[in-house]
Each structure stands twice: as C-alpha cells, then as structure tokens.
Amino acid sequence: MAKARLMDQPADFEKLGIDPNKVQTWEDDRRDTDIPGTSEVWYFDAILDDGSKAVFYFHPKSPYKLQEAGDHPDIGIFITSPEGETYGQQIIDYPAEESYFGKEKCDVKVGPHSVVGDFKDYEIHIDPVADVAADLHFHALVKPFRQGNTGIITLGDNDEYHYTDLSVVKNQVTGTLTYNGETHEVTGSGYHDHQWVNISPIVAWHHWLWGHLYTENYTVLIYDFVAAKQFDYQQIPFFGVMDNKTGEVIFQTDGNFTHETELTLQPEIKKHFPKTSKYTFANADGETVTFTTEWHQELEVRNMYWGATDEVRAQYDKMGIQPGYMRYFAKGTLSFEEDGQQVTESGDMIYEYNYGGKEDPEAHV
C-alpha cells in the first residue's frame, strides 16, 4: 500500500522552510501553484450574536476547473439571517487578470472582493454581489494551529501528494453584513482556515470528521482524516486545544490515541455514521485529553451517491466509492487533568462528516 503521513520531522521543517516553534505570516500566503490538479482556499465563517451566520471563501482556481492550467478565481458567500433565510451564491467567477494572491501574507483579491490578514487581524471586503455585501474584521483570540507544526499531510510512496490545514480557530468578529436590502451591524465569533492540496479529496480520503468547539475556557479543533483504501486506511488526526485566556496552544496530539464510536444508519445515504465519537489522545509525555462529540440534529444531508444519475453513479462505482456528506449540530465535551484537578467543559458545536468511501470494518468509522 502507498503511505500517508504527517510532515513533522526535522527534515520536513528544513524542506518547507518552516520554523516549528513559530508560525510566520508568509504561511498564510499563496502556497500552491496554478498547475492542473491543485486547489487552494482561504475560508472564513462567523456565528453572529444576532443569530445570523456567514461563510466566505476565496479560490485561485475554481473547484470546477481544477484540471485546467492557470488560475480561474472565484469566491463564495453565504449569509443566513436570524430567521433562517439564506442569501448569497456558491461560485462567482472572475478573470485571473482581475485577481491577485500575495506571497508575504494573506493578501487575496478576487475581482472587487478581498481579504488581507496576518494571523492576528483580517479585513474581509465583499462588494455588493448576488444581493449581499460584507465588511468584517476578524481579530484572532487564539494562536494559529498547525498539526505537527506544519499542518501538512503527504500521501504516496514519495510524498508526491499533499493535503493541508492551517487554522485560526477562534476570532472576534465585528463589522457589517448586507442582505435582503438592509445593512446590519454585527458582532460574534469566527473561524478561519487556509488549505492547499494537489489531490482530490475523494481520491485521498475514505472519510473525515471536522469541527471546532468553543467552551468557556478552551477552544478545540478536530480534523480526523482517514485515508482511502489505497493508502491503507491510515488515520491521521489533527487535534489541538487552545487556552482562551492566553490564546496559546496548550495541547496537540502526537498521534497516539484511541477512537470509539457508536454507529447509526443514515437512511438516505444508506451508510452507518457515528452517533457519538470519543477520542482519547494520550501523548508520550503523559498528557492525556479526552474529546467526545454526540450529534443531536442533522443540519445537512448530501446524498451524493444514491441521489446521483445512473451515469454519475456508474462513475463512482468505477472509482470504488459511495460519497455522502453530513453536517450536524452536536454537543462536544473536553476533559483533561490540570494541576491535579480534572477539567471538564462542554459546548455546542457544528461538525461535518464527509464519507466518500464504501463501508468497510477496517476503515475506522
């Protein structure tokens, strides 16, 4: 089997030019090229105090044009009102000559829209488009998180493929959102990540669970990747805990963990998804953290296999996959020992479960 691994060795830091002890602003700049097969995204979401929600993303290359050479930039913007109405558009294309992707920090311009930031503060500007607009300021409340101090997984016998996640998990959000003909002053909490990859997720992964949790004193990121069968179902979790008071990363897994689930059948997708997922991360230095999530509501069901046309389903069959996607509203609980005392904190969270592979008892679902 081909391998999958986290880049966390001294030779990896040297190859990448990364300081394992300090995140530098250039790490949030353009990290990939425009050759066919590459994909990159700067992603932001916000949950606002008035009950509204917003999602923004910027691509140098549209997801629908990944196999083409050159840049094909787009943005996506979704705003959900407190009443639950959604405004915006998933893909809005712009010419490459009207776009810019800087090489010193997050400095992105797609048509008239932009985001500029340095891991501490980000300014997002969305010109009026698709009946929405936004001007938001994200101020980081925690330090950036990169698993293994690179945030990069490589796949293949010679590390020929990469899949990444570099995140600022908790931010204070202020500014304005415009939708339904009105401009609203908003405040709340937000999340940012930056990903760059050169392999399709349906080729790389059997499934993943991704989410973040805010409790009174801590912020948690989990991104549990399980590689596709060709990569021997290798399970590589990203897991970090940040202190809300200091913003520091106080724990990240060293890869030693156990994982227990209680499964339940999702009738539309016709596969068993975890109802509860319990992770016990036990590092070699003796630190142990337990994280449990249990979903209470299905927020989104993407029945990508059984809902496809016969022609598309035949293509999936040829690839040996049965893709389906779930987004849940859940309760997350964090537990660990600090200064001889047991700390347990819980909170509401939204997490996604992207399940591309076929059911297999060896696949760590």
Give the C-alpha distances (Å, rounded to integers) separating 252 from 59, 220, 231, 247, 248. 29, 10, 24, 14, 11
Q: What are phi and psi of 40, to 5 degrees?
A: -145, 145
pLDDT band at 101 (very low <50, low <70, confident <90, very high): very high
pLDDT band at 1 (very low <50, low <70, confident <90, very high): low
* 182 and 235 fall within a common domain: no
Residue 77, sorted as left (phi over 0), alpha (psi -120 to 50) or beta, turns out to be beta
Cβ-Cβ contacts under 8 Å for 185 (sequence gap 6 or more): 175, 176
* 184 and 282 fall within a common domain: no
pLDDT tens string 322-362? 999 998 999 999 999 988 899 999 998 989 999 999 999 99
pLDDT tens string 124-168? 999 999 889 999 999 999 999 999 999 999 999 999 999 999 999
* 103 and 166 fall within a common domain: yes
Examine the fold and report which residue of 143, 164, 199 is the final residue of a domain before the chain moves on: 199
Percent over 70 (pLDDT), the chain: 99
Domain count, the chain: 2
- Starting at the edge strand that comes first in sequence, how are the strands of the sheet with 161-164 ordered? 4-6, 152-155, 161-164
pLDDT of residue 338: 86
pLDDT for 297 beyond 80 = yes
Task: Tell me the CATH number at 348.
Answer: 2.40.370
Percent over 90 (pLDDT), the chain: 86
* 122 and 218 fall within a common domain: no
Model confidence, pTM: 0.91
**H/E run at residue 218:** strand 218-227
pLDDT band at 2 (very low <50, low <70, confident <90, very high): low
* 164 and 25 fall within a common domain: yes
Q: What residues does 316 pair with on adjacent strands?
A: none
Range of the domain at 168: 1-199
pLDDT of residue 64: 81
* 92 and 159 fall within a common domain: yes
* 139 and 239 fall within a common domain: no
Examine the fold and report which residue of 183, 199, 215 is the final residue of a domain before the chain moves on: 199
Examine the fold and report which residue of 199, 215, 244 is the final residue of a domain before the chain moves on: 199
Task: Tell me the CATH number at 139.
Answer: 2.40.370.10
Place of tokens 């069968």: 229
pLDDT, average across residues 176-185: 96
Mean confidence (pLDDT) of the chain: 94
* 77 and 29 fall within a common domain: yes
* 181 and 215 fall within a common domain: no
* 59 and 113 fall within a common domain: yes
Residues 84 and 177: their CA atoms lie apart, in Å, by: 15
pLDDT of residue 65: 84
Sign of the Cα pseudo-torsion (96, 100, 102, 107, in order): negative
* 42 and 141 fall within a common domain: yes
- Environment class of 209 (CB within 10 Å of its CB; exposed 0-12, middle 13-18, buried 19+): buried
- Starting at the edge strand that comes first in sequence, how are the strands of the sheet with 182-197 ordered? 86-93, 74-80, 53-59, 39-48, 182-197, 166-179, 132-140, 121-129, 113-117, 106-110, 99-101
pLDDT tens string 14-72? 999 999 999 999 999 999 988 998 999 999 999 899 999 999 999 999 888 888 899 99
* 215 and 190 fall within a common domain: no
